[in-house]
Amino acid sequence: MTTTRRDLFKAMAAISVAAGLAGCSSSGSPSSGGTGGGGSATAFTYRMRDQYRVWLMDLKWYPELQERTGIEATLVDGGPSDQYYNKVDLALASGSIEDALIANSSQADVYGSQGAFADLGPLISEHAPNIQAYIDANPEYGNLITSDGKIFGLAMETVKISNVTFYRSDMFEKAGIKDLPTDVDSLRAAMEVLKEAYSSTENFFPLVGREGFLKFAYAWGANFAVVNGTVNGVADDVVGALTTDGYKQMVQWYHDIYADGLIDPEYVKGAATEETWQTKMLTGEGAISDDFFTRPSWFMNNGGPENDPDYAIAVLQPFTMTDGTAVKVPAGARWDVNRVLALNAKTAQDKAPAILEQLDYLYTEEGQLLMHFGVEGESFEMKDGKPEYTVTFEEEGNKGDGVPVWNFLQDRLTFVAPVDNDAYQQWMDPLTRSFSVDYFSQHLEQRPVLKYTVDQQKQRSDTMAALQPFVLAQVTSFVTGDRDLSEWDAFLGEAEDKGFGQVMELDQAAYQAANG
């Protein structure tokens, strides 16, 4: 039987775990023997979702971390991502949890307040001076992870990345497109040229994709944002700034390109899979897409040139608004509240000092070098005082699971630790590096951190469970013409009845809670 969010809150009330946190002597640096200065254990169990576990086990720097700190983790498979948090709920409700695990912030705060998770505040102060320095240097982070004066989990910092819009540059050239699109109007004009140039290609649609077609909301100001401390819309990629004029203009634009056969109908209707999308971009049934920023390189390395010797992909600069106003591309918040490290209160007295010492090492200069560059002489060399990789992403990053690799993809969860955006971009392949450094440093804006109370999170989850699919279904109907845009105002009223305004109020409160 599947555990629902309602089941979670019922289970919370039944949980009462006594936690005894004994003080241990301070350790200002990683323990060479993993004893934590107070007799703490040198091994602990650590639960994470299945794919992250596989990736971590394959990393060559991970055994080096264990050797340097003298602390070893047994990685526990917590199941696939779509089941992971439900499984965490069940484990917590039964009291059978590992020494350390990844939870989301709501689970950390709720179960922590019930005594299942240790209060990390005193433990960090005692055993993790570098983590403490990080918290002190980032007060917004400290505010995010603190609940009623206690810290029940540490949230993961995320690298500054986003999707990008990319295109078959060889197809653009053959179609005679010399001026690249700079806004959505010139994008549509380019798609019209492509449609005509490749009219003999069966099932050709210039714009193809997967997993949600509303990719350019920022170009109309239709995305969630915070302006002068006030939220504009709802923090959701589909719902966004639903009630703004820009959102309606965006829907009209998609309606028009759909009617003209410029966008793949399967994409709009949610029927496109990763495999069908990849095939279309590889075989010339599509020419433009918007997806994760490493995808251009993936197509070049996974059959593109083999299908067509002229095959080439390039990345467009972010679109401006139609009046030429430059806007930032939205990205995820700096800290991910769905990836929070929590420690079992029952085993904290024995295990927490060692766990925190190992984690604290990753906040040191030496630990950061290991995590982001590996081992000197094996994966990098120092040149002019700076580390440079001697291994490449092309060789290491595309190996299959189960093969030991030097890989430094910081968007994959290993341990909660600071990120190094420059190192992350340096690790990318040459095609990705050719655009990513400037793209992400100049054109990206990370979403503000939002912090909900447990009750707010429950209310929001319940409301969004009905609101988000409703908005997506109705917007899709407007785009396909199944619903006429003359009914837009009526639709907004329906969305309000579904709780749009309530969620916006919750997001406003969550912004203020996280940002003061």
Using only C-alpha atoms, the chain has a radius of gyration, in whole angstroms, of: 25
Q: From residue 285, how far is each of 55, 171, 194 by CA, in Å?
A: 33, 11, 11
Across the range 468-497, mean pLDDT stands at 98
pLDDT digits (tens, 9 = 90+) for 288-304: 999 999 999 999 988 99
Q: Which pLDDT score is estimated for 92?
A: 92
Report the CATH number that the domain containing residue 128 is assigned in CATH: 3.40.190.10
Establish if 23 belongs to a structural domain.
no
Full-model pTM: 0.84
pLDDT bin (cut points 50, 70, 90) of residue 348 is very high
Q: Both 417 and 461 in a single domain?
A: no
Q: What is the per-residue pLDDT across 165-214, written as a single tens digit (0 to 9) for each?
A: 999 999 999 999 999 999 999 999 999 999 999 999 999 999 999 999 99
Are both 348 and 470 inside the same structural domain?
A: no
* Enclosing domain of residue 312: 163-330+449-515
In the predicted model, what is the mean pLDDT of residues 340-353? 96
In tens, the pLDDT along 78-99 reads 999 989 999 999 999 998 899 9
Mean pLDDT computed over every residue of the chain: 90
Q: What whole-number distance in Å separates Cα of residue 129 and Cα of residue 257? A: 56
User: CB-based burial of residue 66 (10 Å sphere; 0-12 exposed, 13-18 middle, 19+ buried)?
Assistant: middle
- Answer yes or no: is 17 within a domain: no
| Tokens, residue 67 | 């050797």
Give the model confidence (pLDDT) of 235-281 as tens digits.
999 999 999 999 999 999 999 999 999 999 999 999 999 999 999 99
In terms of domains, do 201 and 321 share one? yes
Residues 188, 312, single domain; the answer is yes
The pair phi, psi for residue 269, each rounded to 5°, is -85, 5
What are the pLDDT digits (tens) for 412-430?
A: 999 999 999 999 999 999 9
Give me the mean pLDDT over the 319-337 stretch.
93
pLDDT digit string, tens, across residues 117-129: 999 999 999 999 9
Q: Do residue 468 and residue 402 come from a single domain?
A: no
Same domain, 113 and 78: yes
pLDDT at residue number 41 = 52
Quick one: 125 and 64 in the same domain?
yes
- Which of 433, 462, 490 is the C-terminal boundary of a domain? 433
